């Protein structure tokens, strides 16, 4: 089964309409496509749908489902931030993510830009990037409980601009401990961890999230994975999927999860 469950459209910060994404998925030979628009957020997030847009988002996906029935299964999902605002019920699945840390009355974006990241660390953490990472992972550890998600989105998103450890040392014991503590909290939840290629397609990284050592830790805990592209355009729906699957195999995985109308099921890595 060829599936992507992390897909953004013009309803949030994507470049294409849902129908354009569906048509591209059909051309790629995909079996199913899950939409995961950024749901309303309590943080001042330009990427998030305002609450009044959610009914139109849902209505458009429901319109497409019967229109493409027999050609592709279309799943209604949402990416819900830790600091989410009401977004309705009845989603096929939810991706739980952390895009912001709240500190001293301010909303600190985790993945805006390298410059914003460094400014944030200097202003709120006295230059200590690892302290920012520790606050981030404290939220990640609770994201499943807070959002009710079935999928953990880009577990180590805080490394988006950290290719080659250019901003901080991601092997430092403080960083490792913070990440593993979050992982151990999530291990007790019934969730799937995505291998996410989105930062590759946008030119920020040469490898997917999470980092290989984290994927090995996920595998050691017998936790499931899925492959997603975090696609923001019709041209990136399957971006770097072979690379992600090769990484999964190298880290000890032999199966990935796909979402069906009967729930998640394991299929062999291709």
Give residue 40's pLDDT.
98
Number of domains in the chain: 1
User: Is 109 part of any domain?
Assistant: no
Nearest to 142 by CA among 202, 199, 183, 95: 183
Contact 49, 39 (CB under 8 A): yes
Give residue 262's pLDDT.
95
User: Is 186 part of any domain?
Assistant: no
> In the predicted model, is pLDDT for residue 270 greater than 90?
no
Nearest to 229 by CA among 264, 195, 204: 195
Mean pLDDT, all residues of the chain:
97
User: Is 176 part of any domain?
Assistant: no
Nearest to 189 by CA among 153, 145, 225, 228: 145
Give residue 1's pLDDT.
85
Fill in the DSSP letter of residue 16: S
**pLDDT tens sequence across 38-86:** 999 999 999 999 999 999 999 999 999 999 999 999 999 999 999 999 9
In this structure, are strands 100-103 and 93-97 parallel, antiparallel, or unpaired?
unpaired
User: Is 253 part of any domain?
Assistant: yes
**What mean pLDDT comes out for the span 11-34?**
98
User: Is 170 part of any domain?
Assistant: no
Q: Return the axis-axis angle of helices 129-140 and 173-186, rounded to nearest 10°.
A: 10
Give Cβ neighbours of residue 244 (< 8 Å, ≥ 6 apart).
195, 197, 208, 227
User: Is 179 part of any domain?
Assistant: no
Beta bridge partners of 259: 264
Query: Which structural domain, as residue segments, surrounds residue 238?
Result: 3-96+144-165+191-268
> In the predicted model, is pLDDT for residue 267 greater than 90?
yes
**pLDDT tens sequence across 174-227:** 999 999 999 999 999 999 999 999 999 999 999 999 999 999 999 999 999 999
d(CA 171, CA 213): 10
How large a percentage of the chain has pLDDT more than 90? 99
Fill in the DSSP letter of residue 259: E
How large a percentage of the chain has pLDDT more than 70? 100
Beta bridge partners of 194: 226
User: Is 115 part of any domain?
Assistant: no
Look up tokens 């819900």; give the residue: 80
The two three-digit tokens of residue 64, written as one number: 């497409």
> In the predicted model, is pLDDT for residue 29 greater than 90?
yes
Fill in the DSSP letter of residue 20: H
CATH code for the domain of 35: 3.20.20.140
Look up tokens 């997030």; give the residue: 45
User: Is 103 part of any domain?
Assistant: no
Give Cβ neighbours of residue 222 (< 8 Å, ≥ 6 apart).
none
Nearest to 32 by CA among 96, 92, 95, 81: 92
């Amino acid at each position: 089964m060829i599936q992507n469950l992390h897909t953004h459209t013009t309803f949030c910060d994507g470049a294409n309409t849902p129908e354009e994404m569906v048509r591209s998925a059909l051309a790629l030979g995909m079996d199913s496509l899950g939409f995961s628009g950024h749901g309303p957020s309590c943080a001042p997030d330009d990427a998030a749908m305002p609450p009044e847009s959610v009914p139109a988002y849902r209505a458009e996906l429901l319109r497409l489902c019967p229109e493409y029935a027999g050609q592709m299964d279309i799943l209604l999902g949402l990416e819900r931030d830790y600091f989410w605002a009401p977004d309705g019920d009845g989603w096929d699945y939810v991706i739980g993510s952390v895009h912001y840390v709240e500190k001293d009355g301010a909303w600190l974006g985790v993945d805006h830009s390298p410059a914003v990241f460094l400014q944030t660390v200097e202003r709120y953490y006295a230059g200590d990037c690892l302290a920012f990472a520790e606050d981030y992972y404290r939220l990640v550890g609770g994201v499943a409980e807070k959002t009710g998600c079935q999928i953990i989105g880009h577990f180590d998103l805080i490394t988006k601009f950290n290719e080659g450890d250019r901003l901080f040392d991601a092997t430092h014991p403080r960083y490792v401990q913070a990440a593993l503590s979050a992982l151990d909290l999530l291990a007790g939840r019934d969730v799937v961890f995505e291998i996410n290629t989105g930062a590759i397609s946008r030119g920020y990284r040469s490898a997917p999230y999470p980092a290989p050592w984290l994927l090995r830790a996920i595998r050691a805990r017998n936790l499931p994975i899925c492959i997603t592209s975090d696609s923001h355009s019709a041209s990136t729906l399957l971006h770097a999927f072979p690379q992600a699957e090769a990484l999964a195999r190298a880290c000890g995985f032999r199966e990935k999860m796909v979402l069906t109308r009967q729930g998640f099921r394991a299929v062999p890595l291709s």
